[in-house]
A and B are shown apart, each in its own frame.
Chain A
């Protein structure tokens, strides 16, 4: 289609502000789906996405819209992930667009995530169309929100569209705005091919499916293409677009969005942000902005049943086919046996992988406390990167440790500010900005160690703001910090899976808390069990679990042996689900106890 009639746009919205409902409505109004075919929220196709109300994978749906000017337009809706863990993916999706709908809930207002993504969109020179949604709700205050958009984001919101995606009001106006305000794609069909990979996934029948935006030139079936970052060459086997059903086509030309299959074996080969060029007539320059995705959060994943180790490896390999953002390597724990050290984009990403492993592959997992990757300079001057507490060098060999630092932005209501400031201070934050952004809302900018937010930061932020705080962050650098390894000894034996890296000033308190939590989680054993937290040889906390006094069935009623057997079997089964470290049976929850340390508010 002529570029003049193409519009590529995405939707920026905070969770629950109505992005999916609006997307469904656009599909419905343009006839892409009949009402009968509509299943609630078509775009979030993974179970997990539907349940959590979040988008994990990007999608691109083509809508054919005949505008009031009588012309037929091709509108490509590029749906992006909406979580801070996936901000790189978001930036690549935005790069594929010329415009964005900024959807803001008419009663909730602008949130940190929305703000961050809007800035990202402005940075990519996207035309922003403000949409104030949910105006049907009694608590809606469209005028206040309009002002807020202007003051906080600094864009003109006079023409903001007032909609109720739920009721369908304002949808036509949005479509007209897209046609008239979003610029048509630039690029040139006559230049050599340059296409942007903005997402990819693995399909067991067709191999890797890539979502592309063609910026210059043409993509045609049978064409030999080359990936800029790794030089790999493939032949295009199929092209198409989602409408929203997959519709094959022979060509995608400059300005268009669609999918591509080229018999690619793993998504790791088709990197998000990479540029596709023609193998015979390659463009001189790649598209800007490509980065290798680097995991930021690391944790050990272990099967509860040690014989499922092979199963876990297969599952991780399969998941990796589809998710190149996470990586894994075998690791061995004295306490937990054979498992894998895995790297993730963030905590949500970790949770998603963990849930998919449990659901789709049916593996019971023990996850060790998530941590970050430290840069350690040794006394010999060598720089090493360590993401596993057990691999920390001996303190005598460490010259200094650098920890990753993030710039975090929190938007909340002023009534919650006390608790949030306390939390940010406790998490070793440095305040950089404190701004009132109107309507009783406050925007905080803090420098925080990443290590402090991977534990329980989200949960605590939510609980001290009753859910009215949003967070966005990005890595800003490294800082030298006095980090130490806190070890846990159970009955005198170190339990490596419970080790954690903490700031020296917190080691004593965290050690005490962890030990007292473990005392409550580890059931009494046949003997007294000493629990100790130690830094090197120095014990910083100690408690003991007194020996179990009795576990005995008193009565045998009228020769009922089966009742006894059942009880014994039940007890035995319970023990099977524990991990035996030395002589002590440790339940799975104990390994998660580390996660909750520092969370004194949650104590009963």
Chain B
């Protein structure tokens, strides 16, 4: 199993919590980027045929339908088992949905984050719950029924009641897949700067505490389970059979090729990374990928254990990590069963504490 990731780091507006290299850039830059991206994909020597494709962003849903189609043309393996595009609610039309389906897209990931208008506005986004409702129907009409909805726990202004309301919307819209992220206020985001320097524009002073955010997340785990969506990865929930095949590759250390600015690739042995900024990516002098031998010995743990199914350590690994494993089992953060090692419910919440112990560097 192998996948393709295409990065499209352009947005109509930058979200206040965003700390990625994505954002709003001049149209001319966008044109040059698309040319370079196409060149990069064309130049790629395919050692395997991809089964999954993922257009991430940024906001690739703002890309003209023909442009998207032409990129998909460059990628072998059609029809793919899974081809996802990330979309901002408010950018989908009936026509766009149809052309995506025609171009081979069979899954859409909607960056909803919240269904509560006040919270959405503070992130800098422009949609409403009704937009999401309408666009999911448009996608369904076009034949795309596999949708993911992203939710963020910990947004400014969020309360227990408003979070419940967002989860009610999930129940109503019944997507096949939901991702729930707990917001880390990054100091490089506008929200983070406001939080440090003081200010009221994005409601930084009104962000829930870590403990409240944790409670929101745990509420979501329960509610989603009741709706038939099991947690299969720390932040991902799906109806049976609708787990993201592409994202699973990351956790299972399967190969993927990434194209575009800040795109990451892994061939099963070496990890490579394109420059983070668009400017560096476009500049022939700084375009080269950074390469690093993957440290699979510990990645197996700190990446693999993110899956609720856990991992099956080798006899060697059981021995090598005997002490931390025992310590975390005693502390109730890890559990073992028939040669499988996995995080407990509490272990998920404190997974960084666990993962650190498996770092070999």
Contacts and interface: CB of A to CB of B under 8 A. Distances in A.
Interface string A538-563: 00000000001111111111111110
A11 B264 CA distance: 69
Nearest to B56: A558
B360 to A, nearest CB: 11
Interface string A494-512: 0000000000000000000
Interface in A553-591: 553-562, 564-565, 567-569, 571-572, 575
A564 B303 CA distance: 9
Interface in B321-361: 331, 333, 348-353, 355-356, 359, 361
Contact of B210 (A550, A555, A560, A575): A550
Most buried by B among A526, A548, A557: A526
A559 B266 contact: yes
A554 B182 contact: yes
Contact of A550 (B54, B295, B350, B356): B350
A436 interface: no
A569 B358 CA distance: 10
Interface stretch (B119-127, B211-219, B280-288): B211-219
A274 B159 CA distance: 76
Given A550-B214, A560-B264, A526 B356 contact: no
A552 B234 contact: yes
Contacts of A526: 331, 333, 350, 353
A558 B234 contact: no
Contact of A567 (B273, B295, B306, B352): B352
A558 B262 contact: yes
B159 to A, nearest CB: 17
Interface in B127-174: none
B33 interface: no
Interface in A81-107: none
Contacts of A567: 352
B302 A564 contact: yes
A552 B264 contact: no
Given A559-B256, A562-B273, A571-B352, A554 B264 contact: no
A527 interface: yes
B348 A556 contact: no
A562 B348 CA distance: 20
A157 B350 CA distance: 73
Contact of A562 (B54, B56, B292, B356): B292
B356 A557 contact: no
A555 B250 CA distance: 12
Given A561-B271, A569-B361, A549 B331 contact: no
A436 B181 CA distance: 68
A552 B349 contact: yes
B234 A554 contact: yes
A419 B119 CA distance: 50
Contact of B258 (A548, A558, A564, A569): A558
A562 B331 contact: no
A562 B271 contact: yes
Nearest to B356: A572
Given A559-B256, A562-B273, A551 B359 contact: no
B91 interface: no
Contacts of A527: 331
Nearest to A573: B356
A557 B263 CA distance: 9
B211 A552 contact: no
Nearest to A524: B210
B213 A550 contact: yes
A133 to B, nearest CB: 45
A565 B181 CA distance: 18
A572 B350 contact: no
Given A549-B211, A549-B214, A571-B352, A558 B263 contact: yes
Nearest to A553: B352
Main secondary structure of the interface of B (DSSP, over half): mixed
A382 to B, nearest CB: 46
Contact of B352 (A551, A556, A558, A560): A551
B71 interface: no
B207 interface: no
Given A558-B7, A559-B250, A571 B350 contact: no
A572 B350 CA distance: 14
B264 A551 contact: no
A568 B181 contact: no
Nearest to B5: A558
Interface in B5-40: 5, 7, 20
B184 interface: yes
Contacts of B299: 561, 565
Contact of A555 (B235, B249, B262): B235
Given A552-B349, A558-B56, A561-B264, A568 B217 contact: no
A551 B353 contact: yes
Nearest to B180: A554
Contacts of A548: 350, 353
A572 B355 CA distance: 10
Most buried by B among A552, A556, A561: A552
Given A558-B56, A562-B273, A550 B349 contact: yes
B303 A561 contact: yes
Contacts of A561: 250, 264, 266, 271, 294, 299, 303
B211 A554 contact: no
Contacts of B181: 554-555
B264 A559 contact: yes
Contacts of A572: 356, 359
A556 B305 CA distance: 13
Nearest to A552: B351
A569 B359 contact: yes
Given A526-B350, A550-B349, A575-B356, A568 B182 contact: no
Nearest to A548: B350
Contacts of A568: 302, 352, 355-356, 359
Nearest to B6: A558
A120 to B, nearest CB: 52
A321 B249 CA distance: 63
Given A526-B331, A558-B262, A564-B303, A549 B273 contact: no
A559 B273 CA distance: 10
A577 to B, nearest CB: 14
A557 B211 contact: no
Interface of B: 5, 7, 20, 54, 56, 180-184, 210-211, 213-215, 217, 234-235, 247, 249-250, 256, 258, 262-266, 271, 273, 292, 294-295, 299, 302-303, 306, 331, 333, 348-353, 355-356, 359, 361
Given A550-B349, A567-B352, 20 more contacts: A526-B333, A526-B353, A548-B353, A549-B215, A550-B210, A550-B217, A551-B352, A552-B182, A552-B348, A552-B349, A552-B351, A555-B235, A556-B306, A558-B54, A559-B258, A562-B273, A565-B302, A568-B352, A568-B356, A569-B361
8 contacts: A550-B214, A551-B350, A553-B184, A558-B56, A559-B265, A561-B264, A562-B292, A572-B359
Interface of A: 526-527, 548-562, 564-565, 567-569, 571-572, 575
Question: Top 7 A-B pairs ranked by shortest CB distance?
Answer: A554-B181, A549-B214, A550-B214, A551-B352, A572-B356, A559-B250, A550-B349
